[in-house]
């Protein structure tokens, strides 16, 4: 059926045929796999461009730097397969080279937010027990003194990239089941978790993208404003290289610089988070720039309101928004866009992935049209969390299902809709209220620039929905007006019962609302 639902197994799957993966027993690193997908002769477009300086790496330069660095990592720095390496850096041209060099020798990149605090880093170091760190000098002081640190912005590191063509020592054998990278979850619902991903996980995802690569006359140019230490950015670098495309990197996010870069480099697509779409909608500059090269925006990481999509489509009819959904634990995206994109959906499930919607009450797998927790199974599901067997076994079932913690449903056509995170549902009496649903409604108010909803403790109801509102400049909107606006559009138990005005909604680098900060601001102690 068109829903891709199989009654016998109670699972949802892609309508496209499965994608063949390399034989699992073949020794293969994701770096070698990505490079093997590159066309011969090598693409003539740049592989990576630094948007500020305009400097770039061609494909031959990129591959030669990867080889030189891999060789130095083995012979000078004495890294061995399985050795973990902390990476602390904004997006620079050295980063894709470093990722590929580490991956190709079986060492394990563990990139972290360069703004991480000393205590966050010391916890991560305790968990992953790294051999070495690669950091820009500004970020290095927060690393433990005992950790051998190589400065990415030093002449020494540059010399490792350009070492004369000494013969490459034989690369160690890397099994696909080996750990490739440890990537941190965003820490939206608690402390960040170190997600252990294998070479196989990334190979499986790359193979799917490669299989659906459309023949273009010129390879696509992507502009990356997303952090490269997050799974989305990490994977997008691998994908760029495997498909022979061009990625423009931005060291610091700046809206105006981003618009200029789209124009200058004739950018075709950008991976974005929902707040960036909102920023584009609000911007006058977007009308002044030549954005005619921009074909699509790949949006993910947080819920995107229908209202925002609709307004975006009306203002930028030539730019397609392609929503994607995924978790660090699933190596990123598990859905694929289809020609018939449905507003509000994240697409259909990708080839090679099975999905279930599991009832919160009975634990039964549910057919299309029913809400429940999304479970995923397939070759991109993580090995586990580093140093936390308890969290691993509560997230992964013995049959290999990953419990996403997201409340979702499939419609009759097999399109997946994300309602909200289970952990963030507001429990009003016996009802559950998804804050994202209320936020989408609030976003549609012309005087509201941004909004977030949290549970507020209430003696009688347990919790009530409370809204934080950012008014548009000049607006005198009142709390009563906000509550009245919502009340007309929702069932009575969902109505907003408390409002506070705020200057900005706190959000993470990936565009997720930091509800814990709002809970603190609201002045009661959060439930654990
Ligand atoms: P933590 O697990 O540490 O609390 P996190 O879940 O935010 O943080 P990520 O792995 O970066 O860390 O994000 C995955 C989550 O992001 C998903 O479980 C889902 O809740 C949300 N998400 C991702 N894409 C979308 C999307 N397109 N629409 C709605 N939510 C999304
Ligand atoms: Mg999560």
State the complex-level ipTM.
Answer: 0.99
Instruction: Give the phi and the psi of residue 521 in degrees, each rounded to 5.
Output: -65, -35
pLDDT at 275: 87
Burial 41-53 (b: 16+ CB within 10 A, else e): eebebbbbbbbee
Ligand minimally distant from the alpha carbon of residue 417: 1
Distance between CA atoms of residues 94 and 281, nearest Å: 33
pLDDT at 342: 73
Ligand minimally distant from the alpha carbon of residue 325: 1
Cα three-residue angle 399-401-407, rounded to 5 degrees: 145
> What ligand 1 atom has the least distance to the C-alpha of 404?
18
Query: How much distance in Å is there from the Cα of 421 to the middle of ligand 2?
Result: 9
More confident residue, 282 or 397: 397
Closest to 178 (Cα-Cα) out of 197, 194, 203, 195: 197
Question: How many Cβ atoms from other residues are within 10 Å of residue 228's Cβ?
Answer: 22
Residue 145 burial class via C-beta count within 10 angstroms: exposed 0-12, middle 13-18, buried 19 and up? exposed
Element (H, E) at 201: helix 199-211
Checking if the pLDDT of 163 tops 90, the result is: no
> What ligand 1 atom has the least distance to the C-alpha of 192?
3
Distance between CA atoms of residues 90 and 357, nearest Å: 38
Contact 13, 6 (CB under 8 A): yes
Ligand minimally distant from the alpha carbon of residue 274: 1
Checking if the pLDDT of 340 tops 60, the result is: no
C-alpha R_g of the chain: 23
Contact 408, 417 (CB under 8 A): yes
pLDDT at 188: 85
pLDDT at 106: 98
Contact 216, 168 (CB under 8 A): no
Region 132-153: what's the mean pLDDT?
96
Q: Mean pLDDT across the chain, nearest whole number? A: 93
How confident is the model over 221-234, as pLDDT tens digits? 999 999 999 999 99
CA-closest residue to ligand 1 atom 29: 303
Confidence of residue 38 (pLDDT cuts 50, 70, 90): very high
Query: How much distance in Å is there from the Cα of 189 to the middle of ligand 2?
Result: 7
Q: Is the CB of 437 under 6 A from ligand 1?
A: no
Confidence of residue 528 (pLDDT cuts 50, 70, 90): very low
pLDDT at 164: 67
Element (H, E) at 179: strand 179-184
Q: Is the CB of 402 under 6 A from ligand 1?
A: no
CA-closest residue to ligand 1 atom 16: 301
pLDDT at 24: 96
pLDDT at 282: 85
Region 179-199: what's the mean pLDDT?
93
How confident is the model over 466-519, as pLDDT tens digits? 999 999 999 999 999 999 999 999 999 999 999 999 999 999 877 899 998 999
Residue 138 CA: distances (Å) to CA of 80, 161, 176, 227: 27, 21, 35, 17
Query: How much distance in Å is there from the Cα of 249 to the middle of ligand 2?
Result: 26
Region 380-389: what's the mean pLDDT?
97
Question: How many Cβ atoms from other residues are within 10 Å of residue 277's Cβ?
Answer: 22
Q: Which residues pair with 216 in a beta bridge?
A: none
pLDDT at 192: 87
């Amino acid at each position: 059926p068109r829903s891709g639902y199989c009654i016998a197994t109670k699972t949802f799957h892609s309508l496209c045929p499965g994608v063949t993966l390399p034989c699992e027993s073949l020794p293969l690193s994701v770096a070698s796999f990505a490079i093997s997908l590159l066309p011969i002769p090598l693409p003539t477009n740049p592989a990576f461009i630094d948007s500020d300086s305009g400097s770039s790496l061609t494909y031959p330069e990129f591959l030669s730097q990867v080889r030189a660095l891999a060789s130095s990592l083995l012979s000078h720095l004495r890294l061995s397969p399985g050795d973990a390496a902390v990476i602390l850096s904004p997006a620079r041209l050295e980063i894709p080279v470093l990722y590929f060099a580490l991956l190709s020798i079986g060492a394990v990149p563990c990139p972290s937010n360069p703004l991480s605090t000393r205590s966050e880093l010391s916890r991560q170091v305790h968990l992953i027990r790294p051999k070495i760190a690669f950091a820009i000098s500004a970020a290095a002081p927060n690393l433990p003194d005992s950790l051998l640190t190589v400065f990415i912005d030093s002449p020494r590191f540059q010399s490792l990239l350009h070492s004369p063509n000494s013969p490459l020592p034989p690369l160690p054998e890397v099994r696909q089941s080996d750990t490739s990278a440890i990537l941190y979850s965003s820490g939206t619902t608690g402390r960040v978790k170190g997600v252990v991903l294998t070479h196989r996980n990334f190979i499986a995802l790359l193979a799917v993208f490669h299989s659906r690569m459309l023949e273009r006359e010129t390879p696509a140019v992507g502009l990356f404003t997303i952090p490269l230490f997050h799974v989305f950015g990490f994977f997008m670098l691998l994908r760029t290289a495997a498909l022979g495309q061009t990625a423009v990197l931005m060291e610091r996010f700046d809206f105006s610089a981003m618009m200029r870069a789209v124009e200058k480099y004739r950018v075709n697509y950008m991976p974005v988070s929902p707040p960036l779409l909102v920023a584009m909608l609000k911007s006058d500059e977007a009308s002044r720039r030549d954005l005619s090269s921009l074909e699509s925006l790949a949006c993910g990481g947080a819920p995107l309101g229908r209202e925002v999509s609709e307004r975006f489509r009306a203002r930028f009819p030539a730019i397609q928004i392609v929503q994607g959904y995924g978790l660090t634990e699933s190596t990123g995206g598990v859905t694929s866009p289809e020609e018939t994109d449905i507003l509000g959906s994240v697409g259909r499930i990708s080839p090679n992935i099975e999905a279930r919607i599991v009832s919160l009450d009975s634990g039964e797998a549910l057919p299309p049209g029913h809400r429940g927790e999304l479970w995923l199974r397939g070759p991109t599901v993580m090995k586990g969390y580093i140093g936390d067997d308890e969290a691993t076994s509560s997230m992964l079932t013995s049959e290999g299902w990953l419990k996403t913690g997201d409340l979702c449903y499939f419609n009759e056509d097999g399109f997946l809709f994300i309602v909200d995170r289970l952990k963030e549902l507001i429990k009003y009496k016996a009802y559950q209220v998804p804050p994202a649903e209320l936020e989408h409604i609030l976003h549609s108010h012309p005087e509201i620039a941004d909004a977030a909803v949290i549970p507020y403790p209430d003696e009688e109801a347990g919790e009530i929905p409370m809204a934080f509102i950012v008014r548009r400049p000049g607006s005198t909107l009142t709390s009563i007006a906000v509550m009245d606006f919502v009340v007309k559009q929702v069932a009575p138990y969902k109505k907003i019962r408390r409002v506070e005005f705020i200057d900005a909604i706190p959000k993470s680098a990936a565009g997720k609302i930091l509800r814990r900060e709002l809970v603190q601001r609201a002045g009661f102690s959060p439930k654990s």
